[in-house]
């Protein structure tokens, strides 16, 4: 897969569409579906990677600021870290889960711990306000949002957790610091923070590379 990633980067840096580049090198190397998905998530052109890295700030930058969180994106990645599932450090410097479970997500035995770790990190970062967004169309999002609000109150974290039908739009147009590793969201946002990357660093978890 490393050779395929190098070849995909070569094509992307020369202007080839990402889907076409990933499909071409994956077919050439006979990669299985799961490795094709990793390439699609992790490999970027040098230009795209650089532009995204330039928007990233450390967690210390959250102090006193408004932070809007891509709830399922962050939660699923942290759960993957805790469960020992593959999480990749991608070309743009962001950590990404590669299980592809977003639409099939259900709370697991790692969910409560993952949320506690995320909120403990936010408590240390001391933002001015937090908005934890969950996709309304996802099953049991309302219950999860209520649980997050309860945990936030227990830590005296300012802000709320809520569901929304237009989560991506709200993240892309927010004036705050956006916590997400969704590439489309990062491209539209002005300032972005990678909470799972900070959690991985603090817990001594090394992500995978290609």
What's the CATH number where 148 sits?
3.40.50
Reported as a pLDDT band with limits 50, 70 and 90, residue 26 is: very high
Say whether both 27 and 102 belong to one domain: no
Say whether both 32 and 73 belong to one domain: no
Selected residue with higher pLDDT from 104 and 125: 125
Query: Looking at the 3D structure of the chain, how many domains does it have?
Result: 2
| pLDDT reading at 102 higher than 80 | no
pLDDT tens per residue across span 138-194: 989 999 999 999 999 999 999 999 999 999 999 999 999 999 999 999 999 999 999
> Which two structure tokens, joined as six digits, stand for 130?
């937090």
Question: How many C-beta neighbours within 10 Å does residue 83 have?
Answer: 14
Say whether both 141 and 120 belong to one domain: yes
In a domain, 74, yes or no: yes
Is the CB of residue 51 less than 8 Å from the CB of residue 2?
A: no
The per-residue pLDDT for 106 is 85
> Which two structure tokens, joined as six digits, stand for 39?
């390439």
In a domain, 154, yes or no: yes
Say whether both 38 and 64 belong to one domain: no
pLDDT tens per residue across span 62-94: 999 999 999 999 999 999 999 999 999 999 999
Write down the number of H helices and E strands in the chain.
10, 7
> Which two structure tokens, joined as six digits, stand for 78?
């942290």
Surface-to-core class of residue 201, CB atoms within 10 Å of its CB (0-12 exposed, 13-18 middle, 19+ buried): middle
pLDDT tens per residue across span 39-62: 999 999 999 999 999 999 999 999
Task: Give long-range contacts, CB 8 A cutoff, 24+ apart: 151-157.
Answer: 151/115, 151/116, 151/119, 152/119, 155/119, 155/120, 155/122, 155/123, 156/123, 157/119, 157/122, 157/123, 157/127, 157/130
Say whether both 114 and 37 belong to one domain: no
Say whether both 17 and 103 belong to one domain: no
Which residues form the domain of 16?
Answer: 2-43
Predicted TM-score of the model (pTM): 0.94
Is the CB of residue 203 less than 8 Å from the CB of residue 189?
A: no
């Amino acid at each position: 897969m490393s050779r395929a990633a190098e070849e995909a980067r070569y094509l992307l840096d020369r202007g080839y569409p990402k889907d076409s580049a990933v499909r071409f090198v994956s077919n050439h190397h006979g990669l299985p579906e799961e490795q094709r998905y990793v390439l699609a998530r992790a490999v970027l052109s040098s230009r795209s990677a650089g532009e995204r890295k330039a928007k990233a700030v450390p967690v210390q930058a959250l102090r006193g600021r408004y932070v809007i969180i891509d709830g399922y994106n962050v939660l699923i990645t942290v759960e993957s870290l805790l469960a020992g599932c593959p999480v990749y450090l991608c070309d743009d410097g962001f950590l990404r889960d590669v299980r592809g479970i977003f639409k099939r997500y259900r709370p697991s035995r790692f969910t409560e711990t993952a949320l506690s770790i995320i909120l403990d990190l936010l408590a240390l970062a001391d933002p001015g306000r937090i908005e934890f967004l969950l996709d309304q169309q996802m099953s049991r999002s309302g219950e999860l949002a209520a649980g997050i609000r309860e945990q936030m109150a227990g830590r005296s974290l300012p802000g709320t957790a809520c569901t929304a039908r237009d989560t991506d739009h709200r993240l892309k147009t927010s004036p705050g610091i956006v916590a997400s590793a969704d590439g489309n969201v990062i491209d539209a946002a002005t300032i972005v923070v990678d909470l799972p990357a900070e959690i991985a660093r603090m817990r001594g978890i090394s992500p995978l590379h290609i």
